[in-house]
Amino acid sequence: MNRKATALDVAKLAGVSRSAVSLVLNGRGDGNVAKESQVRIREAAATLNYTPNAIALSLRNRRSRIIGIVSDQVVTSPFDGNIIAGADAVARSQGFVTVVMDTELDETRDESAVATLLDRQVDGLMYVTVGLRPLHVPLNMLRVPSVLANCFDDRPEAGVPAVIPDEVRGGREAATHLLELGHRDIAFLAGDGVTPAAPRRIQGHREAFEAAGLPVRPGRILEAGWDIDAGFHGAMKLLDGVAAPDRPTAIVCANDRLAVGVVLAANRLGLAVPQDVSVMGYDDEFRIASTMVPALTTMALPLREMGAAAMTGLLRELSEEPEDYDDGGAPAEHGRPGQTLVPCRLVVRESTGPVPS
C-alpha cells in the first residue's frame, strides 16, 4: 500500500483545481462548480479512496476536533472506563475523537498531561477520576473549554463546570428501599472518610431515617474500606455470634465488592440472603452485581450518563464559542453553581427482601 491520496491527486485525476475539490467535497459545490465537474470530482475521490488529512485540517482550521481526557486511573477500573465510554460515544457522534492520558494517580503528572494535550491542539479538555473527589484543576486547563467528571474543584472561583453523581440522594433512596421493605435496623458499611462518596451516601442514609421519623442505631455506621475482605470482616463484626434480635436485618454497603464480602460472611454463618439478612450494594459494578449469587440489589452509579453529560456540555460550549471565549458560567442544573448532579438508579435484584418476621 502506498501513501494516501491527497486533494491534489483528486484534482489531477478529475482535471480540475484543488479549490474545486475542496468546495465540492465540503458540500459547497453548487453555485460554484459546474455540475459535471462535481461528478468527475466525486468519482475521482471515490476511486482514489480519498479522505482529507485531519492533521492538515487541524493546522488550517486551528481546531483539531480532538477532546483531551485526563484520567487519574482509567485502566484498572471499570469506573473511569465507563465514564470515558459515555463521553467518547457522544464525542464520536459529533465527529470528535478523544485522546486519553492516564496519570495513574500521580498528581505531579497532571500539568504535563494537560500540556501534552494542549500541544496537540485539543479543542477541549475533560478531567475524570475513578472515585468522586475534590481536586485543584491544573492551571493550563483554563486555556480551553473544560469540564470535570466525577470530581470537582472546591474553590468557588475555579470556574470549571463539574458533573458528579447525586450521592446524597443515592444514599437516601437506598435506605428508603430498605425502609419500605419494613427494615428498621439497617447497618451501613462505609468505605473510608477520605473520599467524599461515602460521607455523602451516609448523609443520605440518615436523611431517609429522619424523614421516616426513625432513629439510626448507634454503631450501625461502620467505616470499613472498599474491598471484599473489608465487607467480610465488617459483616462478621455485625453478625457473628450476635443473637437475632440484636442483628441488623439489612446491611447496605458503600459498593458492590463490600456486598460480596458480606454475602460470603453470611453464607459462612449459615445466614440466608435475603431471608435472614438483606444486603445492598452500590455502583452496580459490571459483571459483579448482576451475576452475584444472589444477584445484588444495588444503587447504580450513572457513569456513562455522567460521561455523556459532561461531554455534551463541553461540546456545546465549544460550538457556542466560535472564535474567542466568553466568560459566561455554565448554568447549574442542581447543586452548587457549576455543578451538575446526576441521579443514581436503584436496581432491585434478589439480595434484598422483606424484613424477617
* Contact of residue 43 among DNA, a second copy, none (CB under 5-8 Å per partner type): none
Q: What's the min distance (Å) between Cβ of 34 and a second copy?
A: 28
Strand order in the sheet with 124-134: 97-102, 66-71, 124-134, 146-152, 162-165, 339-342
* Contact of residue 7 among a second copy, DNA, none (CB under 5-8 Å per partner type): DNA
Q: What's the min distance (Å) between Cβ of 56 and a second copy?
A: 6
* Contact of residue 8 among DNA, a second copy, none (CB under 5-8 Å per partner type): DNA
Among 2, 12, 13, 33, binds DNA (CB under 7 A): 33
Which residues does 27 contact at the CB level (< 8 Å), separation at least 6? none
Using CB under 8 A as the binding criterion, the count of chain residues that bind a second copy stands at: 58
Q: Determine, following the binding rule CB under 8 A, whether residue 39 of this chain makes contact with a second copy.
A: no
> Which range, of 4-12, 125-133, 136-144, 169-177, touches DNA by CB under 7 A?
4-12
Q: Determine, following the binding rule CB under 7 A, whether residue 32 of this chain makes contact with DNA.
A: yes
Peptide bond into 245 cis (omega under 30): no
Q: Which lies closer to a second copy via its Cβ, residue 102 or residue 223?
A: 102
Residue 159 to residue 146: CA distance in whole angstroms: 9
Peptide bond into 294 cis (omega under 30): yes
114 contacts 138 by C-beta, under 8 angstroms: yes
Q: Determine, following the binding rule CB under 7 A, whether residue 31 of this chain makes contact with DNA.
A: yes
Residue 300 to residue 297: CA distance in whole angstroms: 9
- Cell numbers for 112: 504535563
Q: What's the min distance (Å) between Cβ of 16 and DNA?
A: 4
* Contact of residue 230 among a second copy, DNA, none (CB under 5-8 Å per partner type): a second copy
Among 39, 46, 56, 293, binds DNA (CB under 7 A): 56
- Cell numbers for 210: 429522619
Residue 43: CB atoms within 10 A of its CB come to: 13
Which residues does 141 contact at the CB level (< 8 Å), separation at least 6? 114, 125, 127, 160
DSSP of 229-281:
HHHHHHHHHHHTT--GGGS-SEEEESSHHHHHHHHHHHHHTT--TTTT-EEEE
Among 13, 25, 164, 314, binds DNA (CB under 7 A): 25
| Interface residue list for DNA (CB under 7 A) | 3-8, 15-23, 25-26, 31-35, 37, 50, 52-53, 56-57, 59-62
| Interface residue list for a second copy (CB under 8 A) | 1, 4, 51-56, 58-59, 64, 66, 74-78, 81-82, 84-85, 88, 97-102, 104, 115-116, 118-121, 142-143, 227-230, 232, 257, 260-261, 263-265, 267-268, 270, 286-288, 291-293, 295
